[in-house]
């Protein structure tokens, strides 16, 4: 059976399909001892030997799907040149896994982790829209008229944001707590949105992805997704 090399790497749990393409581009992948740097090459998964960074890789016999309650100060990559802790340090170390999407270093909350490269590719592709719900505490307080501007979408110079939903759920003398539903996931988007209206996000937590909710999962803990949750994600 033939398969594109980047898809094979993703299925083997090396990285997402996009990241696997970068690995190929950087010369980190060999097929039958020969370095491959061009995209779109097909391999025979039964006979060809694939290596990444000098280690043989193979497609996992069993696909795994986890929900993790990411703490702050963990990065959502497999490794870090600065030596910071990654979310994979919180998962079974005998399994080769990678996160679906990202949460920034100082954000916490729901993160999906798997070795299913096809599902990762599907859920992170721009054409697939899935709502993600966050809770953000900001300081200083802002005018609701500014929030309405953010809801319509704004030009942040680095990129334009799509319309979103922002609801004030609590406030005290110096802070406000908002519930935010995004249908996109640009880099540091919520933090940049609030900076645009001259306030700062001091706490940011993702509490849901589509119908999947963080619920009572403790900080730093993980659980396997249910069959129903997996089917829901695959059918999006």
Bridge partners of 65, per DSSP, are 114
- Looking at the chain, the whole-number percentage of residues with pLDDT higher than 70 is 98
What total of structural domains would you count in the chain? 3
The enclosing domain of 159 has a CATH number of: 3.30.70.1560
Q: Return d(Cα 163, Cα 153) in angstroms, integer.
A: 5
Say if residue 120 is in the same domain as residue 8.
no
pLDDT of res. 45: 81
- Per the structure, the complete domain to which residue 26 belongs is given by 2-56
Annotated catalytic residue 104: yes
Query: Per-residue pLDDT for 17 more than 90?
Result: no
pLDDT of res. 47: 85
pLDDT of res. 57: 87
Say if residue 26 is in the same domain as residue 73.
no
Mean pLDDT to the nearest integer, 21-26: 91
Specify the residue for token string 């980047």.
6
What is the three-class DSSP state of 20? Answer: helix
- β-bridge pairing 2-4 and 42-44: antiparallel
Alpha helices (H) in 58-198, listed in sequence order = 117-124, 144-152, 189-196
**Burial letters 60-97, b for 16+ CB under 10 A, else e:** beeebbbbbbbeeebbbbbeeeeeeeebbebbeeeebb
Catalytic one of 104, 116, 146, 172: 104
């Amino acid at each position: 059976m033939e398969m594109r090399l980047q898809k094979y790497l993703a299925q083997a749990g090396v990285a997402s399909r996009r990241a696997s393409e970068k690995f190929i581009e950087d010369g980190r992948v060999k097929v039958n001892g020969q370095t491959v740097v061009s995209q779109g090459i097909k391999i025979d998964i039964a006979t060809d030997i694939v290596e990444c960074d000098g280690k043989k890789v193979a497609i996992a016999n069993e696909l795994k799907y986890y929900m993790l309650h990411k703490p702050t100060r963990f990065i959502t990559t497999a490794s870090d040149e600065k030596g910071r802790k990654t979310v994979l340090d919180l998962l079974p170390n005998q399994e080769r896994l990678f996160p679906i999407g990202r949460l920034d270093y100082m954000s916490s909350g729901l993160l999906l982790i798997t070795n299913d490269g096809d599902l990762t590719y599907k859920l992170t592709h721009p054409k697939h829209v899935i709502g993600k719900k966050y809770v953000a505490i900001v300081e200083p307080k802002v005018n609701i008229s500014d929030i309405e501007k953010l809801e319509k979408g704004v030009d942040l110079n680095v990129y334009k944001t799509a319309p979103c939903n922002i609801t004030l759920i609590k406030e005290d003398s110096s802070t406000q707590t908002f519930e935010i539903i995004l249908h996109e996931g640009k880099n540091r988007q919520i933090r940049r949105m609030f900076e645009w209206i001259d306030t700062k996000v001091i706490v940011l937590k993702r509490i849901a992805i589509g119908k999947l909710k963080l619920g009572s999962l403790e900080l730093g803990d993980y659980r396997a997704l249910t069959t129903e949750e997996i089917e829901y994600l695959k059918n999006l």
